[in-house]
Amino acid sequence: MYPVLFTAGGLTFYTYGLFVALAVAASFVYASVLARRAGLAAQDAADLVFLFFVTGVIGARLFYVVQNGADYVDEPLRAFRLQEGGLVYYGGFLTAAAAGALYGRLRGWPVLRWADVFAPVLALAHAIGRVGCFLNGCCYGRPAPDGWGVVYPGDDVTRVPVQLFESAALVVLSVYLVSRLRRDHGRDGRVFAGYLFFYALVRFSVEFMRGDQVTAGFLSVPQWTSLVLAAAGGYFLYRSGRRPGGMA
C-alpha cells in the first residue's frame, strides 16, 4: 500500500487522488476519440466527462456515507475527506447516468448513442481507479488462502488483491466494448447494455473475494445491484439481437 504520494510545502498529495486524475484525463482523450468515430462532437464528450466526474463523485461518496453513517456521527466533516477513499461505485454510476441522461435530453442529443460511446470509457476509467484503490488500501480483499496475496501496513493478514483482478477484467471489457462499437453501429444502446451485463457479472464475481462488504441476506448490496443490472442489460441484448440484422 502506498497511500501518500509525497508531501511538499506542507501539502500532502495522495496516490488515490493521482489515479482519479489519471482516470479523468484518460476519459477526456478516450471519449473524444470515440465520439468523433461515432459522428458526435468531441467538445460535447469533454463536457460529459466533466459532468460525469462531478456527479459521479457526489453520488459515490453520498452512497458510502449513508451506508457507513455510524463512522461519521462523531466527525461529520470526514465525509468530505475523499483522500481516505470510501466511494461506492454503483452509487456514482447511477447518479452520473441519471445526470447524463437528463442533460442529454435537455440538449436534444441521442442519449443511447452517447451511452454506447461512454461504455468503454467508463470501463477503462474504472480500471485505473481500481489501481488507486489497491495503492490506497481500500476495497480490500478477503484473507488469501495458503499465504499468497498482499499484506497492508497495520494488517497482519495476507489478503487477495481483488482490486487488481477487477482492474484487469475492466481493461478486457473496455477493449471488447470498443470492438462492438463498429459491429453494433445503428443499434443505439446495445454496447451500453453489454457493459451493464458484463460488468455486473464481473462485479458479482469479485464481490466473493472482497473483505470489506456487509451482506444483505446472503449477498452484498453490490451483488444485489449487479443482479438487477445484469438482468436489464441481458434483456436489452436479447431483444436487440432478435431484430433484423441483430445477433442471434
pLDDT tens-digit series, residues 51-70: 999 999 999 988 888 877 77
Spatial separation of the C-alpha atoms in residues 62 and 82, rounded to whole Å: 11
Q: Which domain holds residue 135?
A: 4-241
Q: Is the pLDDT of residue 1 over 90?
A: no
Torsion over CA of 55, 161, 220 and 53, rounded to 10 degrees? 0
Q: How many CB atoms lie within 10 A of CB 151?
A: 13
Cβ 31 vs Cβ 48: under 8 Å: yes
pLDDT recorded at residue 242: 55
Q: Which of these ranges, 15-29, 163-177, 191-205, has the smallest mean pLDDT?
A: 15-29
On whether residue 202 sits in a domain, the answer given is: yes
Spatial separation of the C-alpha atoms in residues 137 and 153, rounded to whole Å: 9
Cβ 170 vs Cβ 185: under 8 Å: no
Q: CA geometry: angle at 55 spanning 24 and 5, to 5°?
A: 40
How many distinct structural domains can be found in the chain? 1
Q: How many CB atoms lie within 10 A of CB 82?
A: 15
On whether residue 248 sits in a domain, the answer given is: no
Spatial separation of the C-alpha atoms in residues 218 and 214, rounded to whole Å: 10
Spatial separation of the C-alpha atoms in residues 18 and 83, rounded to whole Å: 10
On whether residue 10 sits in a domain, the answer given is: yes
pLDDT tens-digit series, residues 2-54: 778 778 877 877 888 899 999 999 999 999 999 999 999 999 999 999 999 99
Q: Is the pLDDT of residue 81 over 90?
A: no
On whether residue 246 sits in a domain, the answer given is: no
pLDDT recorded at residue 121: 98
Spatial separation of the C-alpha atoms in residues 23 and 29, rounded to whole Å: 10
pLDDT recorded at residue 55: 97
Average pLDDT over residues 89-114: 96
pLDDT recorded at residue 82: 67
Q: Closest by alpha carbon to 20, among 63, 48, 56, 71?
A: 56
On whether residue 221 sits in a domain, the answer given is: yes
Cβ 100 vs Cβ 92: under 8 Å: no
What residues pair up with 11 in beta bridges, in sequence order?
Answer: 8
On whether residue 247 sits in a domain, the answer given is: no
pLDDT tens-digit series, residues 107-147: 999 999 999 999 999 999 999 999 999 998 888 999 998 76
- 1-10, 206-215, 228-237: which has the highest mean pLDDT? 228-237
208 vs 14: which has the higher pLDDT: 208
Q: Is 7 helix (H, G, I), strand (E, B) or coil?
A: strand
pLDDT tens-digit series, residues 143-162: 998 768 898 888 888 999 99
DSSP conformation letters of 175-209:
HHHHHHHHHTTTSTTHHHHHHHHHHHHHHHHHGGG
Where is 168: in which H helix or E strand?
helix 162-183
